[in-house]
Structure 1
Amino acid sequence: MEITFQGNPITLKGIQLRVGDKAPDFTLINNELQPVTLQDTKGKRIFVVVPSIDTGVCDIEVRKFNEEASKLNNVTIYTISMDLPFAQGRWCGAAGIKNVITLSDYKTREFGDRYGVYINELGLLTRAVFVLDEDNTITYVEYCSEVTDEPNYEAALQAVK
C-alpha cells in the first residue's frame, strides 16, 4: 500500500497489520508519565493513531472520536501520537476532551514500529485506526492512504459494535 503525506510518498517502518492479526504488545506513556502496555488496556478498544494531536485534521478526528465514545458501551478509545504527554494533556484540557485517552510513543517508538505506523521521513506516526476485540485480535484496520485525510469513522465505529 502506498501512503503519501501532502501527495509525497512516505516510508513506514515495520509491518502493516491486518484484520485477524493479534495486536502486538507495546509500551506507551500516559499523561502522568506512566507506562501503558497492551495488557493495561481491556475490552473492545479503538486505537486512533495521529501524526500530531494539535493540528487541524488530527483535532477534527480526535473531537469526532471523543463525541462518538460517549455513545459506545464498553469501548475505550485511545489516541496515540508522538506528541509529548504534556502537550497531549494541555490539548485535551483546552479542547474539552474527556472520553478519549491520549498516549504517547515519544519515548520508545515501539508502537510505531510494531503497528507499522512510524513515518521514517518525518519521525511521526501516520494516520491509522485499529479496532481490537476482548482477545486482542484486530477486527478492523485502516491505514489512511493520505496522511492529511480523515479516516473512515463509520467503518471503524461499525467494526467495534
Structure 2
Amino acid sequence: MSNITLGGNPIETTGTLPAVGEKAPNFTLTATDLSPKTLSDYEGSRLVLNIFPSVDTGTCAQSVRTFNEKASELENTKVLCISKDLPFALARFCGAEGLDNVESLSDFRTGDFGDDYGITFKTGPLVPLLSRCIVVIDADGTILHTEQVAEIKDEPNYESALASLA
C-alpha cells in the first residue's frame, strides 16, 4: 500500500503502482458513450494514463487541460483521463472545455482498475476514489514511467511523464 497525503494528512491506497518494466495490467473502463474500453483496444499506441480523483476539482481539471494541450504534439500517443466520475460528467467537462486531444474513461462500474493498479484510496475522506497518478505505457504494453503524486492537491510532473516517451 502507498502512503500519500491530503492537505498533509496521511492517506493509504489499496496497493502500489505496477513497476516500470512490467506489462501494464489489463483493464475494462467505461467510455463517455458507455461502451467498454480495454487495454487491448489501444494496442499499438503509446498511452499516458492521467488518473485522478474527480474532474470536478481544480487540480484534476487542470491535469486534463494540460495533457490535452500537450497530447496534440505527441505521435502515436493517446492520453486517457481516468477517474471514478460518471461518464456523463467527464463528457460534460471535456465538451464545455473544448478538450478533444484526450479520451475520458471511468472506473465507476467495478472499481477493478483502481484495485488492479493499487491506487484506490483505502483511508481518508476520498474513499473509494482513485489517487492522482500517471502511468506511461509503450506501444507494446510495457510500463515506461509511473508517478503517484505524494500530495493529492499537487499536479503531476508532466515533463517527467512526457520525457519517458522520448
Q: Scaled by the length of structure 1, what TM-score is found? A: 0.96
Query: CA-atom RMSD, angstroms?
Result: 1.0
Amino acid at match of 1:93: G
The residue that corresponds to 1:138 in the other structure is 143
**Counterpart AA for 1:50:** F
Unaligned 5+ segments in structure 2 are: none
User: 1:55-96, CA deviations, whole angstroms, 9 ceiling, x for partnerless residues?
Assistant: 100111110000000111111000000000000000111111
Match of 1:106 in 2: 108
1:67 corresponds, among 66, 69, 78, to: 69
> Residue type matched to 1:148 in 2?
K
Residue equivalent to 2:81: 79
Gaps (5+ residues) in structure 1? Answer: none
Residue 155 of structure 1 deviates from its aligned partner by 0.4
User: In the alignment, is residue 126 of structure 1 matched against residue 128 of structure 2?
Assistant: no
Quick one: distance in 2 between partners of 1:106 and 1:5?
22
Query: How many residues of Structure 1 are paired with residues of Structure 2 in the alignment?
Result: 161
The equivalent residue for 1:97 is 99
Displaced runs of 4+ in structure 1, greater than 4 A?
none
Q: Which AA in structure 1 matches 2:120?
A: Y
Aligned-partner residue type, residue 96 of structure 1: G
Distance in structure 2 (CA, Å) of the matches to 1:120 and 1:33: 27
Compute the displacement of 1:160 (Å). Answer: 1.5
Which residue pairs with 2:37 in the alignment?
Answer: 36
- Maintained 8 Å contact 1:15/1:114: no
Residue pair 2:17, 2:146 contacting (<8 A) in 1 also:
no
**Separation in 1, partners of 2:107, 2:83:** 6
Q: Which residue of 1 aligns with 2:157?
A: 152
Displacement of 1:134: 1.2
